[in-house]
Amino acid sequence: MIIAEPYEPASRQERATEQEIRRETGSYLQGAGGSLREQASALAAYFGRGGGLHREAWWNGAIQSPILAKSGTSLRLGLDDLYRRTLEHSNQVKVLAGIPLIRETAIAEAEAEFDPEAYAESRYDRSNEPSGSSIERNEPGDLLRNRGWTFEGGLRKKTRTGAEISLGQQLSQESSNAQFFIPKEQGRARATLSVMQPLLKGAGKTYNRSPIQLAKLETDSGYSEFIGELENHLMEVNRLYWQLYLARGVLLEKRRLVEETEETVSEIESRSDLDSIASQRSRARSALASRKADLVRSELEIKNAESRLRTLVNDPAFVADKVAEIIPADLPISTMETPTFEKSVAEALSLRPEIRIAENAFRAADLRELVAANEKRPALDFVGEVGTSNLRAAGDWTGAFNDQYNGGEPTWGVGLIASMPLGRKAEKARHLRAQLEARQARDQLRATLDEVLLDVQIAHREVVTAWPDARAKWEAAMAADQELSVLRDRRDVETAESGASVYLENLLDAQQRRAFAREDFLTALATYNAALTNLERAKGTLLQQENVSARRVEDDQHLPLIKLVKDEAALQAKAVYESYE
């Protein structure tokens, strides 16, 4: 277990709240599943048919080769390896993993209210006071002299019913020159057992256990918050991974475009004495300069994507191994995935951390409302005390201590203490506030369910739309490539019909259209792959999908630590973790 003491309903009222939450989410799920249907539009379905995409060399081969590194090493990383490194080394993940552990300390703090407490107090007093009473002094003008040592110690404890129990022992040694103080030196001992049990306000296990239950709910919400933020972090890693893949593909296309443009411009320039005019040559040079500028910008996009990815992962091996270039080792998915919307909704409403947090807020608000209702009651406490005591001369407190259990007679007393503020305005205001907060928490649960449902809808629509978008843009890229190929094959015909310089201008335009079409396709393909992962995040199943497990361990200072690993790489992850710990 990650949480040492998870929340469990412990009272009739808490179990009733659990049933209400189940009814609320169950009815919402039934309504959402029965009234909502999601499927691809006819247009998207038309463009999405036809099976997987052909893995052409221009968008999967060269992308996985070093293209920027001048020095250092190139590191090929797949998504699984990247996730593992992130879980082991990311500073942000470590920050998130501390959330539930920090909140968990509040449970022990609340339980400490019921720990037994040992107490002790000892003091010595010596007084010399003038007295105007002849009973207190021996001779006129004498000072009243008292000497005394007292000790009190014992145990006290608060129970889960609200009762406060105290078992104490008093010992004292006194001497005085007062005439009425006989014998002049005395030793006393007194043992008492006292109980005060609230009968109305502050009574009951539910009321007194509420701080513990609230702390457990807060801890559970902290763990859910950690899971949600962890999924968001891994989603960002995934998005940047495909952004890096896209940036590398775009760079290669722009390099190819610049090379082809240079050849075409060189040919146009060489025909200055034949059929090319100054405006054509200027336009060609402008196109070349613009495409070179785009190439420089493409290199920057790769470097920025790599830097963001390194920051999210924080793997010290990047520095230790002098990694200069990260190369995506995984190819993007290029086949159609068909997620079921109804199943996605059911999983999201069962697993999304935000819903768990909202449910815990509902439970906590109901519990606070019960506490506030209890505090509206009048205070009525039962008190009882029983004890025994004894006295000895010559200050013999040890003998008095023995006598109190051997011959001493018990003394006892019982009673009731009652009080009630007239009007009880503060108590009523607190109860009203708790009721309003409970209603707000109920509404917040419904609002969270709406938000989760909307998130799943959007993520599902993105998946079913991104695939036909990618396929259509792939077909557009194939058509642009075919156009350029046909134009090259018809060079002699085109040159004869319109002249070589016009043909070369058309060639420049066709090269640009092909580059744009390929860039659009790569963008759509990266978007599709990120959308598949985002749907898992929207369902709350990303960690399960990636086989990520959380384990509670201790660091070298014996502090609790949440360690995250991918199960299929657990041994390797453990070795890497320990080598950099």
Annotate 373-424 with three-state secondary structure.
HHCCCCEEEEEEEEEEEEEEECCCHHHHHHHCCCCCCCEEEEEEEEECCCCC
Q: Which residues, including other chains, have CB under 8 Å from residue 405's CB and lie 6 or more apart?
A: 191, 388
Instruction: Give the model's confidence band at 573: pLDDT under 50 very low, under 70 low, under 90 confident, else very high.
Output: very low
Mean of the pLDDT values across residues 434-454?
A: 94
pLDDT: is 54 or 159 the higher one? 159
196 phi/psi in degrees, rounded to 5: -130, 115
Instruction: Note if the bond before 66 is cis, omega within 30 degrees.
Output: no
Taking only the tens place, the pLDDT of each residue in 80-95 is: 999 999 999 999 999 9
Token pair 């040694």 is found at: 173
Given this model, what pLDDT does residue 447 score? 93
Class of domain 12-65+210-313+332-368+434-546: mainly alpha
User: β-pairing, 323-328 with 73-77?
Assistant: parallel
Taking only the tens place, the pLDDT of each residue in 189-224 is: 999 999 999 999 999 999 999 999 999 999 999 999
* Residue 216 contacts residue 5 (beta carbons within 8 Å): yes
Given this model, what pLDDT does residue 55 score? 67
Cα distances from 83 to residues 61, 88, 169, 548, in angstroms, run 23, 9, 63, 9
The structure tokens listed for 336 are 């159609």
Taking only the tens place, the pLDDT of each residue in 216-262 is: 999 999 999 999 999 999 999 999 999 999 999 999 999 988 988 88
* Residue 433 contacts residue 207 (beta carbons within 8 Å): no
The whole-angstrom separation of Cα 130 and Cα 310 is 84
Nearest residue to 219 via CA among 100, 108, 136 = 100
Taking only the tens place, the pLDDT of each residue in 148-178 is: 999 999 999 999 999 999 999 999 999 888 7
Nearest residue to 366 via CA among 29, 20, 28 = 20
* Residue 102 contacts residue 221 (beta carbons within 8 Å): no
Q: How high does pLDDT run on average in the chain?
A: 87
Given this model, what pLDDT does residue 226 score? 95
Amino acid at 107: I
Please say if the pLDDT value at position 68 is more than 90: no
CA angle 107, 113, 118 (to 5 degrees): 130
**Three-state secondary-structure class, residue 324:** strand
Please say if the pLDDT value at position 131 is more than 80: no
User: Left, alpha or beta for 532 (phi > 0: left; psi -120 to 50: alpha)?
Assistant: alpha
Taking only the tens place, the pLDDT of each residue in 317-344 is: 988 888 888 999 888 888 888 788 888 9
Given this model, what pLDDT does residue 572 score? 52
Query: Which DSSP letter does residue 4 get?
Result: S
User: In degrees to the nearest 10, what's the CA dihedral of 453, 458, 463, 465?
Assistant: 140
Q: Where in the chain is the domain with CATH 1.20.1600.10?
A: 12-65+210-313+332-368+434-546
